[in-house]
Amino acid sequence: MSYNKLIKTEADYEKALKRIDQIFDAEPGTPEADELELLVALVELYENEHFPIEAPDPVSAIKFRMEQEGLTNEDMIQYLGSKSRVSEVFSHKRNLSISMIRKLVTGLHIPAEVLIGASVI
């Protein structure tokens, strides 16, 4: 049973996911592998339209990177300014400035588009 149509409804989506499960281990170069590649693209298109993922909050992104790197609030002073400024940013009382964003992009490699969000002053 081959699946070869656009996914327009929740029922179509569920059917496509079931078919992906059935042919997930298809050998490369086979018709099933081609079908799998097409289905994954169709599912991704449907999910992007119906289940969009919003960009993370800039502060959440910073805290996530801190966790990844084992950094503390004190380590953030070099990027955000003073200890009180770090506290203000993390409590959402102060927005990130362009200068802070540049330092975070350069130093922690957090994408600018994530940091910019709606918080730039």
The model's pTM: 0.56
| Contact of 59 with 117, CB cutoff 8 Å | no
**pLDDT number for residue 3:** 65
The answer to whether residue 118 scores a pLDDT higher than 70 is no
Nearest to 46 by CA among 78, 83, 9: 9
pLDDT tens-digit readout, 56-90: 789 999 999 999 999 999 999 999 999 999 999 99
